[in-house]
Amino acid sequence: MKKPAATRQKEKTEIEQLSQAELVEMVLALQKIIEELQDKLAIATGNSRTTSQTSSKPPSTDLLQKPEKATVKPEADQKKKPGGQPGHQGKTRKGFGRVDRTEISSPDICLNCGSKELSEVINIHRQQVASLVAKPIEVIEYQTQSCKCLECGAVVRGEPPRGIVP
């Protein structure tokens, strides 16, 4: 028996209507599922630290039952949906739990008096942005640094990342 083509088409349309933030969440959830499947595969090939949770059954039977429970639920159950509006980039103030790349922007001149004598970094403004890339996902932390002008005391910031709303 084959799956009706209409069902798959509908799913595809639904996916296309998701905002980027939702897509990012979906990819992250899929990555988690993949990792868990890899764990299960490790069990199957006997390379695992994990063992059968139910003592009455041999580990090999675990593979044949309920792969759905452990995988999809944890992410889906989390009530707090960051609620990205359609068209928004995937980003969060709390962070994604990982950063693949950090881009640092620091000021090199005082915009107030033109002096180049700036202090050490006195503040860092962080923005983490997740976007769909070939990797398939990359979290970039943009750090916009602030320094104090040693001449006039003005606080100057590096240039904010382009195309990203603070």
- Say if residues 130 and 82 touch (Cβ distance below 8 Å): no
Helix (H, G, I), strand (E, B) or coil at 5: helix
Looking at the Cβ atoms of 86 and 114, the one nearer to Zn ion is 114
Window of 10-18, 41-49, 120-128, 142-150 that interacts with Zn ion by CB under 5 A: 142-150
Gap between the Cα atoms of 89 and 94, Å rounded: 15
Gap between the Cα atoms of 81 and 28, Å rounded: 14
Minimum distance, C-beta of residue 162 to Zn ion, in the bound complex (Å) = 25
Q: Does 130 bind Zn ion (CB under 5 A)?
A: no
Minimum distance, C-beta of residue 149 to Zn ion, in the bound complex (Å) = 3
Bridge partner residues of 15 (DSSP): none
Q: Does 154 bind Zn ion (CB under 5 A)?
A: yes
Q: Does 152 bind Zn ion (CB under 5 A)?
A: yes
Q: Does 155 bind Zn ion (CB under 5 A)?
A: no
Window of 10-18, 34-42, 63-71, 102-110 that interacts with Zn ion by CB under 5 A: 102-110
Q: Does 21 bind Zn ion (CB under 5 A)?
A: no
Between strands 118-132 and 155-157, the pairing is unpaired
Which helix (DSSP H) or strand (DSSP E) does residue 130 occupy? strand 118-132
Instruction: By CB under 5 A, name the one of 22, 147, 149, 158 that touches Zn ion.
Output: 149
CA 12 to chain centre: 22
Q: Does 147 bind Zn ion (CB under 5 A)?
A: no
Residue 26 amino acid letter = M
Looking at the Cβ atoms of 127 and 145, the one nearer to Zn ion is 145
Looking at the Cβ atoms of 19 and 146, the one nearer to Zn ion is 146
Residue 10 amino acid letter = K
Bond into 107 cis (ω within 30): no
Interface with Zn ion by CB under 5 A: which residues? 110, 112-113, 115, 149, 151-152, 154
